[in-house]
Structure 1
Amino acid sequence: MSGVSSVNVTVPATTANLGPGFDCIGAALTLYNEFNFTRLEEGGLTIHVTGAEAERVQTDESNLLYQAFLKLYQYIEQTPPSVKMEIQLGVPLARGLGSSATAIVGGLIGANELAGTPLSVLQVMELAIAMEGHPDNVVPALLGGCRLAASSDTGWEICDVPWHQNVIPVVAIPDFELSTKEARRVLPTQVSRADAIFNTAHLGLLLRGLETGKREWLRAALQDRLHQPYRQALISGYDAVKAAAIAAGAYGMVISGAGPTLLALADTTQSQAVEMAMLTAWQEAGITAVVRSLCIDTQGASSFHEG
């Protein structure tokens, strides 16, 4: 048994897709969930949740954090210990900011630390992708930065995407939810060759636009034909918020993950104006929202332990 008795894990929120990078690109943001795992001598499982929406988090064995914790112990073929989990919520639930990815990554890291770190970061990442079903949120949540993930014959290849310091992510988080399941249900099962080519070209342009901060490239690059045209109708006020963001100087606006959070990219001189414009547009549509300019988290998940 490991000598570690308590582990603290911090995991950043993420924004996935960035327009044309559907299910393959995501970036870690400076918004966090914090998890503490304390080994118990007996008593099974205890989960305590604090923060906004805490009452909506399951506190039994169905909790996703605990499911990820169990998954790692199953993988290493060890009996999981009795554990107390404390969750401090800073990432809104079901809003397209990777709250489920924080739980998956947090649970796997917490278990790995309590078990004496038998798995490498790469192995933890592969377990996280298997649990989530796609890499776009869990990879940047674990590793930080902006990441492009591509499958290969031997697993996953992860590419660090340079993000220009003058490109500011502005998130507009409404007070309504949109489940990933519902957002996926509206997507077509097939797309045209023209739309596939369109997204391929725009993803390539996005990568260069993020690296250089070139306005014209980013304005064009954020367009998408694979998922956003079908999901827009699920988000009240989408058109008005997008028009307001662009009028205030944003390069463009996309749906963060499956939504309903909307993500605008702007330069450092215009991010505050974009914030105010997006907030006002949603207020005029009768929707309460929190709008914030964030930064790219470059560290990813972090942990420290006691004992």
Structure 2
Amino acid sequence: MAEPDPSAPTLFELGALTSPPTATPFMDLENPRYAYMFGFLQADGHLARGAGAKGALSVELNARDIKILEEFQRLTPYNSTISRRTRSTNFAAVSHTAIWSLCALEARTKLSDLGLPYGRKSRRITPPRVSFSRPDYLRGLIDADGSVGFTRDGLPFVSLTTSSTAIALYLCHYTNRVLGIRKIPGRNKRDGAYNVVYLREGAVALAQHLYTPDALALKRKQRAAVDVSAWERAAGAPPARRVRTWTPLEDSILLSAASIEEAAIALDRTHQSCNLRRWRLTKKN
């Protein structure tokens, strides 16, 4: 019998397994459910230190999403609690939330080692440096810090908002490599965050890829993804003209290139576009 190819993708990486196998170690990120959970925790969890070995991981969500916290509790082989609270916020007179709390030091250490930082983390998170189920991890990030749905004009979209350069670049690299959707992220001037948005056919492809029927996900976003996945361009409607804006990253590459030809190849833009943009940047500076 031929030996298995160690470089071949695993069933988890291909998304073939959607439920945790028996006796899977806690936070084995090749398990799709743990990969999803870890992405969600990186985006929406808070890991806090306490005196000595004390500390806690907590996730607070709108009470309508309590089912996902109950699933995290079920997947965690340590004591944890789910509580509710009602309060007033800047966005609602009455806000009902659910909070999942995990204090076990062993669990917190595992999460920290995998890349969930203590304290403020929005700019510091990065994709795991161990083997992990990629679609499930990205779905966890989008469920926590992204959106799935339709614009006011009825166009389908999938988006992720993050302050982490590593996360924004990874999402764009993944969708380019796996789905052929080319994106170069840029920070918003207002708050310095990245808002990576996929529209129309790009949104359909990404929703179909990430939100498979049996995948762990927020129910409301799973339902939205089903609607997005069913969208089709109206018969006879011409493809939308793509207006591609320049990002700070592209400007940096353009200005550091040895020649316009080199920049055009690196950025996949025309010579005329690169030449005009460089002239405008030089004139502005």
| TM-score class normalised by the smaller sequence | under 0.3
Which has more strand, going by share of residues? 1
The structure with the larger Rg is 2
